[in-house]
């Protein structure tokens, strides 16, 4: 089976940096995605990692270590609008289906 773990909730201060961790145990690995989901809305794509290392995209960065089954999403210069759930998703094989973690609800406070 597939197992993806993320912290349930996190709180961080506006302007600060926050790191959201994700660990996974899957039958195979062919990519890890991070999505942002605001309450009542559909997820929006943030990042994709398939090789080890850090991918940076503006205020958001995502890191992957395949040997450790570990990824993190780093959000810099936090803004109030960053308050949302962040979903880690893994694609176990070559097929496009992905498995989502339960998500981390991030609250940004002033």
Partner 1 sequence: GAVVSQHPSWVICKSGTSVKIECRSLDFQATTMFWYRQFPKQSLMLMATSNEGSKATYEQGVEKDKFLINHASLTLSTLTVTSAHPEDSSFYICSASGGRAEFSEQYFGPGTRLTVT
- In the complex, the residues that contact partner 1 under the rule CB under 8 A are 30-31, 33, 35, 40-45, 48, 50, 87, 94-103
CB of 103 to partner 1, least distance (A): 5
Q: In terms of CB distance, is 13 or 102 closer to partner 1?
A: 102
Q: In terms of CB distance, is 6 or 61 closer to partner 1?
A: 6
Q: How far apart are CA 101 and CA 73, in angstroms?
A: 13
CB of 62 to partner 1, least distance (A): 14
Instruction: DSSP for 28-54, please give it.
Output: --S-EEEEEE-TTS--EEEEEE-SSEE
Q: In terms of CB distance, is 69 or 101 closer to partner 1?
A: 101
Q: In terms of CB distance, is 94 or 110 closer to partner 1?
A: 94
**Residue 104, beta-bridge partner list:** 86
The token pair at 56 is 């940076």
- The H or E element that residue 32 is part of is strand 32-37
CB of 76 to partner 1, least distance (A): 22
Cα torsion for 66, 96, 47, 107, to the nearest 10°? -100
């Amino acid at each position: 089976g597939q197992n993806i773990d993320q912290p349930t909730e996190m709180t961080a201060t506006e302007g600060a940096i926050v790191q959201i961790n994700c660990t996974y145990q899957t039958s195979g690995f062919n990519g890890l995605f991070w999505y942002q989901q605001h309450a009542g809305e559909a997820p929006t794509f943030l990042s994709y990692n398939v090789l080890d290392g850090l991918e940076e995209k503006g205020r958001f960065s995502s890191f992957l270590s395949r040997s450790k089954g570990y990824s993190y999403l780093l959000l810099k210069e936090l803004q109030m609008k960053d308050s949302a759930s962040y979903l880690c998703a893994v694609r176990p094989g070559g097929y496009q289906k992905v498995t989502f973690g339960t998500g981390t609800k991030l609250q940004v406070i002033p």
